[in-house]
Amino acid sequence: MSTYFAGEYDVAVIGAGHAGIEAALASARLGCKTAIFTINMDAVGNCPCNPSIGGTAKGHLVREIDALGGEMGKTADECFLQMRMLNLGKGPAVHSLRAQIDRRKYQDVMKHKLELTENLDLRQAEITDIEQTKSGEWLLTTRMLAQFMAKTVIIATGTYLGGKIFIGEVSFESGPDGVFPATYLSESLRKLGIPTRRFKTGTPARVLRSSIDLDKLEVQEGDTPPVPFSYETQSLGENKVVCHISWTNENTKKIILDNIHRSPLYGGKIEGVGPRYCPSLEDKIVRFEHKERHQLFIEPCGLDTEEMYLQGMSSSLPEEVQLQFYHTIPGLENALIMRPAYAIEYDCIDPTSMNATLEFRDFEGLYGAGQFNGSSGYEEAAAQGLIAGINAAHKVQGKDEFILDRASSYIGTLIDDLVTKGANEPYRMMTSRSEYRLILRQDNADTRLTPIGHDIGLISDERFERFKEKQRLIEKEMHRVKQTTIPASEKLNEILVSRETSPVEGGIRLFELLKRPQLNYKVLKDVDTDRPNLADAIFEQVEIAIKYEGYIKKQLAQVEQMRKLEEKRLPKDVDYKELTGLRLEAQEKLNRVRPANIGQASRISGVSPADISVLLIWLAKSSHNKNTEVDN
């Protein structure tokens, strides 16, 4: 059988999940002729696990994607069923937005956006082989023997690459939701010299709504009013659904432990490494044996479906065992399983083989994004896809690399963690992964990243003007609270005493009142008589800046120190084995990761402060020698 030439592109994206979508939209919107390939057109933008976007730390990523000009936040707003702001009992650094979404609508909206985007072709085809030509371009071959030439390629295969489903003793090759897996591309990558490894994830069962006794469940309402992800969304309207909560019990635990030998996870059939922070129910039962119960959330998958998602109940046990332990849970005694839970094993790569642009160091023009890079989660995937898409476009156009550092964003933290530290298990973003989380809040993602998105070309001039007006209003309000004095009064002191803070005898600046942890704009409304009519987001920014002023200054000083180390660039071609004074482990790790600068080198596991001192001395000597040569 012979191949045929089917087209030529600047950027080819393999995979149309959350990473592939953002990558393709970014490159096409930046003016590159782009193709995005999917095994099944009906799986574009699929949410094969939870029907939600956002969550702890993940909401930060979605806001940052939106601030840079990506699409996930806007589409989540269009398809939301319920919005909830998580962690409101804690400080603003960890507040995270989560949207329950209409799963099928989200797919339809994303697919249509791809179809309508200029410079972008959406094509159903399985890429079975990629190879680099002598000219440096990439030749892609499909299962139908069509061949495409591309200047750059982004691999965003999700869990389809070598996908294998496990349900008890049953296993078979498959992608998520019974879609064909990508069965040949892994071998093509290995031929190139890119080693793959096996990771594993899982998903719970879906059950029929009418088979659930909702009266036995705790109701979980959404926020009023619901807050959108996108800075472009003006209003969301009302929440459309409620979610529910239930708990496992000792009977659930007994059934699982009695059948644990039938779990492929514990029977040794699954080779892949699973996610530490999203374990299966049987894994939670075994690991936390003294815990009496585990929480689960029962969530609708959409307005036009009766499927309900059981968050927190993923499993790879046999279907009949799943049915038994689900029936022990209050409200699920008669639950009808529409789709059984399953585990899925898939191929991915070691992300330390990539630069911070997500380009492979040894394969120019080849990029990776999403679960292919060893991460987990829709949001982590979309964030990487956006950065890979921007960099692939810049590569084609001869523009500078686009890299976000750790102090700029959670996206920068995510990618730095992956390419510097690697991923020995599916990587999940958490607020604790950032040492700068007080300045990387979700509420100020636009302040941090929208000017960058505008400079790149993904934020329109109109949106940028609205952003600048918002910043002007924030500055104006900050000036007002510093200049406004609230006179002492019985009403003011009643408020202060009721909030358990000291009363005042004379006038006091509004700035000083807002600095008190017990007070906020809402509480002071009746005494702040000259307050302008502004959006809540304006007041939120001003209040956070006032309350955390000292902490923010300390963190900004840490950022400045970090960036000084980032400015100390390391040569790409240095052989660290030749550097006297470095420990053997440091030599090996440095040669493998090839850090771009001293800052990145200091974050590599196995590189000690003493090794960094050796690098700094060597770098200073190298610079001195170069300067001497120039002078001579």
Give the CATH number of the domain where residue 48 resides. Answer: 3.50.50.60
CATH at residue 591: 1.10.150.570
Which of 307, 325, 343 is at the close of a domain? 343
Looking up tokens 């496992």, which residue turns up? 248
Cα(250)–Cα(511) distance, integer angstroms: 54
pTM, rounded to two decimals: 0.95
My answer on whether 246 and 173 are in the same domain is no
Cα(242)–Cα(299) distance, integer angstroms: 8
Residues in the chain: 632
My answer on whether 266 and 396 are in the same domain is no
Closest listed residue to residue 296, CA positions, set 394, 204, 421: 204
DSSP 102-136: -HHHHHHHHHHHHHHSTTEEEEE--EEEEEE-TTS
Q: Give a yes or no: residue 627 inside a domain.
A: yes
Q: How many CB atoms lie within 10 A of CB 178?
A: 12
My answer on whether 475 and 571 are in the same domain is no
Cα(632)–Cα(624) distance, integer angstroms: 12
Looking up tokens 């170069």, which residue turns up? 626
- Check the CA dihedral 418-419-420-422 and report its sign: positive
Q: Give a yes or no: residue 172 inside a domain.
A: yes
Cα(542)–Cα(532) distance, integer angstroms: 13
Q: For position 626, what pLDDT does the model report?
A: 57
Q: For position 153, what pLDDT does the model report?
A: 98
Where residue 123 falls (left for φ over 0; alpha for ψ -120 to 50; beta otherwise) is beta
Cα(240)–Cα(223) distance, integer angstroms: 11
Closest listed residue to residue 50, CA positions, set 255, 334, 296, 401: 296
Structure tokens at 331: 């409200």
How many domains does the structure of the chain reveal?
4
Q: Give a yes or no: residue 620 inside a domain.
A: yes
Q: Give a yes or no: residue 559 inside a domain.
A: no
Q: How many CB atoms lie within 10 A of CB 574?
A: 16
For 584-606, letters b (16+ CB in 10 Å) and e give eebbebbeebbbbbbbbbbbbeb
Which of 519, 554, 589 is at the close of a domain? 554
My answer on whether 73 and 160 are in the same domain is yes
- Residue 519, helix vs strand vs coil: coil
Cβ 343 vs Cβ 280: under 8 Å: yes
Q: For position 628, what pLDDT does the model report?
A: 46
Cβ 483 vs Cβ 503: under 8 Å: no
Q: Give a yes or no: residue 145 inside a domain.
A: yes
My answer on whether 426 and 483 are in the same domain is no
Taking only the tens place, the pLDDT of each residue in 159-209 is 999 999 999 999 999 999 999 999 999 999 999 999 999 999 999 999 999
Structure tokens at 168: 């008890």
CATH at residue 523: 1.10.10.1800
Q: For position 495, what pLDDT does the model report?
A: 95
My answer on whether 35 and 134 are in the same domain is yes
Cα(72)–Cα(232) distance, integer angstroms: 12
Q: Can you name the residues that pair with 122 across neighbouring β-strands?
A: 36
Which stretch of DSSP H or E encloses residue 492?
helix 490-498
DSSP label of 501: S
Q: Give a yes or no: residue 98 inside a domain.
A: yes
Q: Give a yes or no: residue 152 inside a domain.
A: yes
For 186-193, the CB contacts below 8 A with 24+ separation are 186/161, 186/162, 186/347, 188/128, 188/129, 188/130, 188/131, 189/130, 189/155, 189/349, 192/130, 192/131, 192/132, 192/363, 193/362
Q: For position 267, what pLDDT does the model report?
A: 79
Work out the burial of residue 306: count CB atoms within 10 Å of its CB; fewer than 13 is exposed, 13-18 middle, 19 or more buried.
middle
CATH at residue 244: 2.40.30.260
In the chain, which stretches have pLDDT less than 50?
628-632
My answer on whether 339 and 350 are in the same domain is no
Listed in sequence order, the residues at least 6 apart from 533 whose beta carbon sits closer than 8 Å to its beta carbon are: none
Longest dimension (CA), the chain: 92
> What is the edge-to-edge ordering of all strands in the sheet holding 170-173?
170-173, 164-167, 342-349, 196-203
My answer on whether 536 and 506 are in the same domain is yes
Where residue 15 falls (left for φ over 0; alpha for ψ -120 to 50; beta otherwise) is left
My answer on whether 218 and 316 are in the same domain is yes
My answer on whether 64 and 95 are in the same domain is yes
Cβ 328 vs Cβ 252: under 8 Å: yes
- Residue 52, helix vs strand vs coil: strand
CA distances from 224 to 83, 178, 254, 331 (A): 9, 38, 40, 27
Which stretch of DSSP H or E encloses residue 452?
helix 445-456
Q: For position 266, what pLDDT does the model report?
A: 82
Q: Give a yes or no: residue 562 inside a domain.
A: no
Structural domain harbouring 283: 206-343
My answer on whether 193 and 283 are in the same domain is no
My answer on whether 167 and 84 are in the same domain is yes
Cα(577)–Cα(111) distance, integer angstroms: 49
Q: For position 269, what pLDDT does the model report?
A: 84
